[in-house]
Structure 1
């Protein structure tokens, strides 16, 4: 066990190097003084462990590094503990003896690997064993059921996503609006990479001939570990077929009945499979905009995925530029924490954003406006204006910028990049 602890806690000897800054980190710094359990959630490989290491580096600037313990509970060493959360006490005790220090900060990575972990965490939290407890999980069900009941009011939760455009710009040392405009060719190269391969950190860092293979391994791992294993799915073949079907048909509306027919399963099974994909943050289900929750629930949904790299596992890049851009817009809006819907009542609008004050914003996504599609794209937003006169209206394109009938047409990289 000592070798495992030493390998997990390299900060005992020196800080972690080569870490990209993440926007969520500043939020965590502001919450550091609160005793609440800090939970990081997000799709597998999105960078939760990196954020942990950023926090550990921050703490070691003023705290004894050996008073900080990091455990990756998906390490094969901990398999024997998977049904015995009380064994974590033994690990903590071994760490204390090894370092000769009292552990003040505890980091538990991929905590869902230990059944009943929430009882251990509640016990040490209530008994004030540690100054601060940090947890990551790769499944939204982490905050459901017994955990939510046991720890109500005791935790703060933050999402960690694959890299956003603004984070990629910072990595490329593009930190001002002027730099972004001047280095437009570099910015468009980043956008092209996001459209084709997504923005997982490891994928971003890898050579082009490896990117697709890495995304493929992520996809398989998410399906098997975070969906099949966590939910004890028996009909794995149908589950994989449904996942592939949805990713191949992003932006196209569906009902659970239509999904069931497409892959030959019952409607209820289709509903459950979609729920599992959502809990793993692989798939997102966009609802029809309505002030009536019942109407939202009863209407068809639209599928989007967290990262564009998954889409290109299922179809050719060149022939689907519009759908890829629309999915990327969805992903960036999610990273910004927006509440999203689609509109389809006599005409279509890709995204309706409902703000905290209940004001609305309408977004159309079009890779390239042409004489053939301009009337349709602009017309949809004009019809929205007739029903909701105060709504803001924008068309997001790959790289076109203009104004048409009072509607702003803005390139993706300007809409989501650095603002002037």
Structure 2
């Protein structure tokens, strides 16, 4: 199987190597966390670290099932710390270990241990880890492939396939393994396996969802509502119109489990003028468009909302704070806050060649009176770039490859 380089994530691990912090890698299943560990272990070996000082456990491997008991895990690791030299410990899918944070805490205080963890849902981050190890860890989220990574992973001939054709392929899904597949059926079967793993292992088993069919109805509704403001009441009314009875409380619970499973992101609205978060009408984006391909195969192709989802994921890769913008009566697709406290604003449209569409997309950005950068991203190949009174129009594919 071809290994795809993930330089952004690898640089994170290299940057924090040997520092007195636990390195935490979160992300949806099959996004490439285990491969990232493999790439980093190769870096360690190449730098002269002895193989005996690298300890790796994947808790989804039944060979390590007995180590899901935190006491057994601690004993196993203690026995392998054979010298005062630095040992590099990789615990993959550590959410399977009850009270794993006690082991992590014990390892953290040892000077000869550099600890790396991965997990496939947000439960372990929001509860055990964040509560017990506050200030002792750094975290990065691994997403499915960016378009730049997707393109780099292709064994392509630029003369036979255009970059736009590759982008159309990328719209199907960004899961790394799909680069190894040949047929539509094979891709769908793989996505089905990921979906069932998430729903059964990270939602149903974890929180005891009583009605899996109800859960899938909610997932389908959210996938068909990408790019639209969603409230619990609005979503509940949609389900009721389909003759599905569900209480407000139960629906809230289902939504929270889907967010914690990392299948969806609930993106809050941000009041641009007041510089504050608003409490209602989030937008939901999925971690990978492949789930839309899987669950809504007969749904009309809404390219505008699909590329909006892609832009959200790319902004999430580049910035830690991404919101939906609100400026008076207008909506800005995305507002990002940089690590330096600056702002950037983004509008996304399939095309703005129609003057009316262009005017509609520029209007929210023009309503923002500060001097922070403002961008309009489209798929236009005719007039792909422009400058409208300081609002920069860019081709989306070019922007993804920056």
TM-score, normalised to structure 2's length? 0.87
Does structure 2 conserve the Cα–Cα contact (< 8 Å) formed by 1:402 and 1:410? Answer: yes
Q: Which residue of 2 aligns with 1:67?
A: 53
Q: Which residue of 2 aligns with 1:28?
A: 13
Q: Which of 132, 144, 148 is equivalent to 1:162?
A: 144
Where do 5+ consecutive residues of structure 1 fail to align?
1-16
Q: Which residue of 1 aligns with 2:379?
A: 398
Q: Structure 2 matches for 1:63-102, cutoff 5 A?
A: 63-82=49-68, 84-92=69-77
Q: Which residue of 2 aligns with 1:410?
A: 394
Q: Which of 330, 334, 337 is equivalent to 1:354?
A: 337
What secondary structure sits across from 2:116 in the alignment? strand
Are residues 111 and 382 of structure 1, via their aligned partners in 2, closer, same or farther at CA, if it must alter by over 3 Å?
same
Task: Note the C-alpha offset of 1:377.
Answer: 4.0
What secondary structure sits across from 2:131 in the alignment? helix
Question: Does structure 1 residue 296 correspond to structure 2 residue 315?
Answer: no
Q: Which residue of 2 aligns with 1:326?
A: 308
What secondary structure sits across from 2:31 in the alignment? coil
Task: Note the C-alpha offset of 1:118.
Answer: 0.9
Q: Which residue of 2 aligns with 1:253?
A: 229
Task: Note the C-alpha offset of 1:275.
Answer: 1.7
Task: Please state which structure has a larger fraction of its residues in helix.
Answer: 1
Q: Structure 2 matches for 1:221-300, cutoff 5 A?
A: 221-263=197-239, 264-290=245-271, 296-297=278-279, 299-300=280-281
Q: Which residue of 1 aligns with 2:242?
A: none
Does structure 2 conserve the Cα–Cα contact (< 8 Å) formed by 1:260 and 1:269? Answer: no
Task: Note the C-alpha offset of 1:391.
Answer: 4.0
Task: Note the C-alpha offset of 1:318.
Answer: 6.1
Task: Note the C-alpha offset of 1:234.
Answer: 2.0
Does structure 2 conserve the Cα–Cα contact (< 8 Å) formed by 1:70 and 1:107? Answer: yes
Tell me, in whole angstroms, the C-alpha distance in 1 between the residues paired with 2:275 and 2:370.
22
Tell me, in whole angstroms, the C-alpha distance in 2 between the residues paired with 1:88 and 1:222.
25
Are residues 60 and 101 of structure 1, via their aligned partners in 2, closer, same or farther at CA, if it must alter by over 3 Å?
farther
Q: Structure 2 matches for 1:123-272, cutoff 5 A?
A: 123-128=106-111, 130-172=112-154, 186-195=162-171, 197-209=172-184, 210-263=186-239, 264-272=245-253
What secondary structure sits across from 1:289 in the alignment? strand
Where do 5+ consecutive residues of structure 2 fail to align?
240-244
Task: Note the C-alpha offset of 1:285.
Answer: 1.1
Listed one character per residue, the Cα deviations across residues 244-268 of structure 1 (whole Å, up to 9, x for unaligned) are 2111221121111222333332222
Q: Which residue of 1 aligns with 2:350?
A: 367
What secondary structure sits across from 2:229 in the alignment? coil
What secondary structure sits across from 2:168 in the alignment? helix
Are residues 409 and 139 of structure 1, via their aligned partners in 2, closer, same or farther at CA, if it must alter by over 3 Å?
same
TM-score, normalised to structure 1's length? 0.84
Q: Which moved more, 1:388-397 or 1:266-275?
A: 388-397
Task: Note the C-alpha offset of 1:211.
Answer: 1.4
Task: Note the C-alpha offset of 1:24.
Answer: 0.9
Does structure 2 conserve the Cα–Cα contact (< 8 Å) formed by 1:40 and 1:159? Answer: yes
Task: Note the C-alpha offset of 1:92.
Answer: 3.4
